[in-house]
A and B are shown apart, each in its own frame.
Chain A
């Protein structure tokens, strides 16, 4: 009898605390860990979310960095963080899908509880403004005439940039040389200095570099509102819609209702027209993948796609 009473009490407390958690979540500042260094796309978009979070939910969103191993250091520690929703971490696709297949990196894709994907940076081929390559057709023609000779910089190996290069080379029946740099900044520097012929970058590069560079095509369904003159790959006959997707994950121990609540909160920020404008001006593209069935379907679809490309790129076995 007594025992039953205790059990009931414990269950009641557990339920009660769970309910209380979601109701008054967030009850203190939320620690937002970016598994990269400052200045990259993950950092910038987190910084853009920061003021809206404070405005809408009354608590600070505190951004901190845990760089290393192309994100692996952060993600391998994700599930060790507190599970009350006040510790959250940025996540990136294809990284969380491809990394664990490349070796022992301390986490598996399934260990990452994705709660919301809020934007992506569409892949784009960028050339220096003074380059002879005026269009995508120019680039393809040059590459066909000079196999392997066209050098393209990009951020890292097994990354969105690298996979895009592999996928496009196959689609266009060309062979280009991919040169991996540490981060988008270094890849752009190499392009601006004419160290490479072109770059596999994102639309954000076009937004940042203005008329110093020219984007030949973007991997989106429709043209990016900030670049109405840049064609999509689809228009030019290459069925390619891809990029790096970014979102937020929580530790496994985070209760279901808190996950739901957080997902709703990020969606609310995403729906704010002022936030959308800032994102689009920066060259980002919005997506809304909420926690639950949507997320599961999205992750499954993207995993298949990325793993196939990574196999072709020889970055995984």
Chain B
């Protein structure tokens, strides 16, 4: 085994690991550029390499990208990769109050620890963990998705009912397109664009990032509170926070390793599950979601642990644990490396060299990550709003395009962004929608498959409620669901009704009317789904129908509550309406301009228009020229990089 260590730490491999981690971190930090894509672009380059070097390079990029996803999550409230969804919950509030630098250092440290634990599990426990992962059948995936949904209670910003309605909406969004388990075309309204369903990454960009952009231009306030003094990377503070959260860190890394080893779950679910557990077991659960470092620690350690964890089924079973693993598996096959049961014995040298390489890359992430993180934080905090808005907007557009090389995804991204903004102003937070969208397909597939198997065996009940592993997940779900209501339940038991405590202020009738309109909009969506489901076969209809009925019931309860308590939980939105409206309008116009002008030119036009929208103070001509030149240069650089380095077929035209 010592030979493998030496082989892994050859100067060339160390160089590859450094380059890989750095490139991965940058790629992961750009919303829309995922680890999958980063690894896929590399595949042809690795053909001319030794298999072990190729593996180390791909592993380093992958692990770097998962960490890089935290930057955008913390600084822009937009997960750079789906794995970083739960990082936004606490990372962004931290950045808002001026602790962005601390959050990034904590994310880096947690990622390193999580990555190491995942890689060590791969080294020592791969075969037994792979067997454990196989015990997870369709029913367990179904219950795991339900467990993920139990986070709604924590993520609905105080209004549980609205959170559930939003989650139902997200679940229904996930049903759009051709169903995997029944091959039926559902809810596309005749649009070819929607055939493939709503792409999760572009939906994430839209739902999380567009509302930030819209609110950013509404007022002249700074995007993030600047730190009081130059505090650098705040490493000692970060280390202390980690030490305080050591159990959280360990538990989340273990969760991440195991969920990563489940083919069909992946980093986003690992992060959500770890976050949920961290929140539940915390002394002060209510601090979570408001900038509690423990939330960042949980998600970031868990998602980097999925890298090592995901390689377990990939290398042991030949079944990719995560999408980037699938790419790596393909590349290995071309290299002539046969993954699967025999790899750990026949191909041992490659496997162990790779695992040591992965450990090396994870360790290198510490210096590289802290350095890049410091730079990213400085850039975002110092950048004037009039530069930040156009550049981030362009990144969302090009990122959404690059996922499937499709302009339609950009359109969906922007539309969902508008939906997300309106919904959050009406008191329906975005995160439950995202939860529904991510977990919907897993839940449905697991449900339909379990149903089919249960019916064939003549034991539906036993299939859903008779398997020990399922029962464990069900119990965890119930605890998580009920936990946030524990104080209220205690109150009820004592005979006090403190549930409607703060609802003394009664809303005006116009406010109630607009609240009613938004609830009726959701009722309408449920109605449309119910009508359209009638034409589908039973397999395709059962899940959306159930969700739509549930949603309708919750809407009715919400309406009854509204009319009896006259309490409205909407958010006030001050600031300039004109500027706010301009952001999505300009972005939509850009989508129209791309085929005419080309991607880069249309992007530049959008950039100029958004500079104008985001600019509050009067500026000298010289300053304006510099600003314009910078924004255009960045947009041009992105366009060239995507087109020529990443081989994204951006529409040409002028540029």
Interface mask (A81-107 → B, CB under 8 Å = 1, otherwise 0): 000000000000000000000111110
State how many angstroms separate the Cβ of A133 from the closest Cβ of chain B: 16
A282 to B318, CA, bound (A): 12
- In the complex, whether A171 has a CB less than 8 A from a CB of chain B is no
A223 to B320, CA, bound (A): 29
A40 to B331, CA, bound (A): 12
Residue with the greatest number of chain A CB neighbours at <10 A, chosen from B183, B323, B327, B455: B183
- In the complex, whether A48 has a CB less than 8 A from a CB of chain B is yes
A72 to B323, CA, bound (A): 20
- Find out whether the CB atom of A180 lies under 8 angstroms from the CB atom of B323: no
- Find out whether the CB atom of A66 lies under 8 angstroms from the CB atom of B405: yes
- In the complex, whether A307 has a CB less than 8 A from a CB of chain B is no
Chain A residue with Cβ nearest B134:
A193
State how many angstroms separate the Cβ of A150 from the closest Cβ of chain B: 8
A77 to B318, CA, bound (A): 32
- In the complex, whether B160 has a CB less than 8 A from a CB of chain A is no
* Chain B residues whose C-beta falls within 8 Å of the C-beta of A282 in the assembled complex: 333
A37 to B327, CA, bound (A): 9
- In the complex, whether A315 has a CB less than 8 A from a CB of chain B is yes
- In the complex, whether B453 has a CB less than 8 A from a CB of chain A is yes
* Chain B residues whose C-beta falls within 8 Å of the C-beta of A189 in the assembled complex: 134, 263-264, 313, 317, 319
Q: Which of B75-83, B191-199, B371-379, B552-560 contacts A (4 or more CB under 8 A)?
A: B191-199
Chain A residue with Cβ nearest B540:
A157
Please report which residues of chain A, range 174-194, place their CB below 8 angstroms from some CB of chain B when the two chains form the complex: 177-182, 185-186, 188-190, 192-194
* Chain A residues whose C-beta falls within 8 Å of the C-beta of B181 in the assembled complex: 156-157, 180-182
Residue with the greatest number of chain B CB neighbours at <10 A, chosen from A67, A149, A195, A196: A195
- Find out whether the CB atom of A193 lies under 8 angstroms from the CB atom of B182: no
* Chain B residues whose C-beta falls within 8 Å of the C-beta of A244 in the assembled complex: none
- Find out whether the CB atom of A60 lies under 8 angstroms from the CB atom of B44: yes
Q: Which of B114-122, B337-345, B417-425, B630-638 contacts A (4 or more CB under 8 A)?
A: B337-345
- In the complex, whether A264 has a CB less than 8 A from a CB of chain B is no
A128 to B182, CA, bound (A): 25
* Chain A residues whose C-beta falls within 8 Å of the C-beta of B182 in the assembled complex: 157, 180
- Find out whether the CB atom of A44 lies under 8 angstroms from the CB atom of B333: yes
Chain A residue with Cβ nearest B130:
A192
- Find out whether the CB atom of B453 lies under 8 angstroms from the CB atom of A63: no
* Chain A residues whose C-beta falls within 8 Å of the C-beta of B448 in the assembled complex: 180
A67 to B182, CA, bound (A): 17
- Find out whether the CB atom of B341 lies under 8 angstroms from the CB atom of A76: no
- In the complex, whether A58 has a CB less than 8 A from a CB of chain B is no
Residue with the greatest number of chain A CB neighbours at <10 A, chosen from B36, B339, B445, B649: B649
- In the complex, whether B281 has a CB less than 8 A from a CB of chain A is no
- Find out whether the CB atom of B330 lies under 8 angstroms from the CB atom of A39: yes
Residue with the greatest number of chain A CB neighbours at <10 A, chosen from B178, B181, B326, B445: B178
- In the complex, whether B237 has a CB less than 8 A from a CB of chain A is no
- In the complex, whether A65 has a CB less than 8 A from a CB of chain B is yes
A278 to B335, CA, bound (A): 10
Q: Choose from B137, B195, B452, B455 the contact partner of A76 (Cβ within 8 Å).
A: B195
Residue with the greatest number of chain B CB neighbours at <10 A, chosen from A38, A159, A180: A38
State how many angstroms separate the Cβ of B315 from the closest Cβ of chain A: 12
A103 to B320, CA, bound (A): 31
Residue with the greatest number of chain B CB neighbours at <10 A, chosen from A31, A68, A211: A68
Please report which residues of chain A, range 125-181, place their CB below 8 angstroms from some CB of chain B when the two chains form the complex: 148-151, 156-159, 177-181
Q: Choose from B183, B320, B331 the contact partner of A185 (Cβ within 8 Å).
A: B320
- Find out whether the CB atom of A64 lies under 8 angstroms from the CB atom of B405: yes
Q: Choose from B137, B195, B330, B338 the contact partner of A68 (Cβ within 8 Å).
A: B195
A159 to B452, CA, bound (A): 18
- Find out whether the CB atom of A38 lies under 8 angstroms from the CB atom of B453: no
Q: Choose from A103, A182, A194 the contact partner of B445 (Cβ within 8 Å).
A: A182
- Find out whether the CB atom of A38 lies under 8 angstroms from the CB atom of B264: no
- In the complex, whether B336 has a CB less than 8 A from a CB of chain A is yes
* Chain B residues whose C-beta falls within 8 Å of the C-beta of A178 in the assembled complex: 452
A288 to B196, CA, bound (A): 31
State how many angstroms separate the Cβ of A176 from the closest Cβ of chain B: 9
State how many angstroms separate the Cβ of A44 from the closest Cβ of chain B: 5
Interface mask (A42-85 → B, CB under 8 Å = 1, otherwise 0): 01100110110000000010111111111011001100000000
- In the complex, whether B449 has a CB less than 8 A from a CB of chain A is yes
A128 to B391, CA, bound (A): 53
- Find out whether the CB atom of A210 lies under 8 angstroms from the CB atom of B180: no
- In the complex, whether B40 has a CB less than 8 A from a CB of chain A is yes
- Find out whether the CB atom of B327 lies under 8 angstroms from the CB atom of A39: yes
* Chain B residues whose C-beta falls within 8 Å of the C-beta of A315 in the assembled complex: 183
- In the complex, whether B135 has a CB less than 8 A from a CB of chain A is yes
- Find out whether the CB atom of A38 lies under 8 angstroms from the CB atom of B327: yes
* Chain B residues whose C-beta falls within 8 Å of the C-beta of A190 in the assembled complex: 137-138, 449
* Chain A residues whose C-beta falls within 8 Å of the C-beta of B406 in the assembled complex: 66, 73, 77
Chain A residue with Cβ nearest B402:
A64
Q: Choose from A67, A69, A210 the contact partner of B342 (Cβ within 8 Å).
A: A210
* Chain B residues whose C-beta falls within 8 Å of the C-beta of A72 in the assembled complex: 178, 195-196
A315 to B184, CA, bound (A): 9
Given A31-B649, A62-B647, A66-B405, are A151 and B341 also a contact pair (CB < 8 Å)? no
Top 3 nearest A-B pairs (CB, nearest first) are A68-B196, A39-B326, A193-B134
| Given A76-B195, A148-B456: 17 more A-B contacts, CB < 8 Å | A39-B327, A47-B331, A64-B40, A66-B404, A70-B183, A103-B184, A105-B192, A149-B456, A151-B452, A151-B453, A151-B456, A177-B453, A188-B319, A193-B135, A193-B137, A208-B339, A210-B341
* 26 A-B interface contacts by CB (under 8 A): A33-B405, A37-B326, A38-B40, A38-B326, A38-B330, A39-B320, A39-B329, A50-B43, A51-B334, A64-B647, A67-B404, A70-B180, A72-B178, A103-B185, A105-B185, A148-B456, A151-B452, A151-B457, A157-B181, A180-B449, A186-B263, A189-B264, A195-B453, A208-B318, A208-B340, A282-B333
Q: Which residues of A contact B (CB under 8 A)?
A: 31, 33, 37-40, 43-44, 47-48, 50-51, 60, 62-70, 72-73, 76-77, 102-106, 148-151, 156-159, 177-182, 185-186, 188-190, 192-196, 208-212, 278, 282, 315
